[in-house]
């Protein structure tokens, strides 16, 4: 099949992807935007445009108004349950299948990478589909759908909360160690759909650059750059990632028009 988007992909980047031994990908909300999940900082429809994060995504907020925080996450959990992975997620599955070593670091809590079929996924900010208790972090699989909200932990009785990282909380240490290790050994680092405004994830592409990796930043605000070692691609991940895969491996099956977004 002829490449429908030949001008979008710097040929030297496609060559580096084809030759890469170890690829690390960092994703943010932008990769899920085409599945219908609002990004955080979009001024028109971002989640944070309607809700102030300090009111909802902090331990202090939960202590002050646990019901409000629980209900907000319940609404977001219901929203992610209705959406499907898009072509950008599927392109990353294809890359994982074709390179010797692959690690996908995600700031997203929606679980769409796993739903698309990505295998080696490290969740830096947790997962909205999981729940744990506030006092001890006991993981909880299910809770009664009626009664008090937030429900009590069946083990210790403290309130249940989403298993996501809130502002002011530490990222999971094991996830950070795995990320650092993968970055030390990677030759290509792809940064997809993140504004790189939240640490420590924001520093990871630059750590990869320091280790000598080629780095791509792909989002809808970056200045385009076609020169190694730091490439910039401005546009939708659901178009550009399949085009990158096709440029690197022209025989790869098309991922762009498979099934729903």
Q: Which positions lie near ligand OAD, rule CB under 6 A?
A: 28-30, 33-34, 39-41, 46, 57, 107, 125, 165, 193-195, 197-198, 219-221, 236-237
Tell me phi and psi for residue 255, to 5 degrees.
-105, -10
Please tell me which residue in 21, 89, 113, 125 is annotated as part of the active site: 125
The least CB distance from residue 113 to ligand OAD, in Å, is: 13
The least CB distance from residue 175 to ligand OAD, in Å, is: 12
The least CB distance from residue 48 to ligand OAD, in Å, is: 7
Q: Which two tokens stand for residue 240?
A: 């550009």
Residue nearest to ligand OAD (CB): 30
Q: Please, which residue, 158 or 220, has the CB nearer to ligand OAD?
A: 220
User: CB 135: neighbour CB atoms within 10 A?
Assistant: 13
Q: Please, which residue, 101 or 230, has the CB nearer to ligand OAD?
A: 230
Helices 11-19 and 237-248: angle between axes, nearest 10 degrees: 70
**Element (H or E) spanning 34, and its range?**
none
Burial (CB < 10 A; 0-12, 13-18, 19+), residue 33, is buried
Q: Which two tokens stand for residue 84?
A: 């499907």
Q: Please, which residue, 101 or 225, has the CB nearer to ligand OAD?
A: 225
The least CB distance from residue 90 to ligand OAD, in Å, is: 14
User: How many whole angstroms from its chain centre is CA 130?
Assistant: 16
Q: Please, which residue, 21 or 197, has the CB nearer to ligand OAD?
A: 197
Omega prior to 200 cis, within 30 of 0: yes
Does the annotation count 246 as an active-site position? Answer: no
The DSSP code for 152 is: B
Residues known to be catalytic = 125
């Amino acid at each position: 099949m002829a490449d429908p988007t030949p001008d979008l992909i710097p040929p030297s980047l496609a060559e580096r992807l084809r030759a890469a031994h170890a690829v690390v990908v960092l994703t943010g909300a932008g990769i899920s935007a085409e599945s219908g999940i609002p990004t955080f900082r979009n001024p028109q429809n971002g989640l944070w445009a309607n809700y102030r994060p300090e009111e909802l995504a902090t331990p202090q907020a939960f202590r002050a108004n646990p019901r409000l925080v629980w209900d907000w996450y319940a609404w977001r959990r219901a929203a992610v349950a209705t959406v499907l992975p898009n072509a950008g997620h599927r392109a990353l599955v294809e890359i994982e299948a074709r390179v010797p070593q692959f690690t996908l670091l995600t700031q997203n809590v929606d679980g769409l990478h796993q739903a698309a079929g990505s295998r080696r996924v490290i969740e830096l900010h947790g997962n909205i589909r999981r729940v744990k208790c506030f006092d001890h972090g006991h993981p909880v699989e299910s809770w009664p759908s009626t009664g008090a909200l937030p429900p009590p932990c069946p083990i210790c009785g403290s309130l249940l909360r989403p298993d996501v990282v809130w502002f002011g909380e530490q990222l999971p240490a094991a996830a950070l160690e795995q990320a650092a290790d993968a970055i030390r050994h990677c030759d290509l680092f792809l940064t997809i759909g993140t504004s790189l405004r939240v640490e420590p994830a924001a520093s990871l592409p630059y750590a990869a650059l320091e280790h000598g990796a080629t780095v791509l930043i792909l989002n809808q605000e970056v200045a385009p750059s076609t020169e190694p070692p730091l490439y910039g691609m401005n546009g939708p991940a659901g178009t550009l990632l399949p085009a990158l895969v096709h440029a690197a491996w022209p025989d790869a099956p098309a991922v762009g028009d498979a099934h729903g977004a």
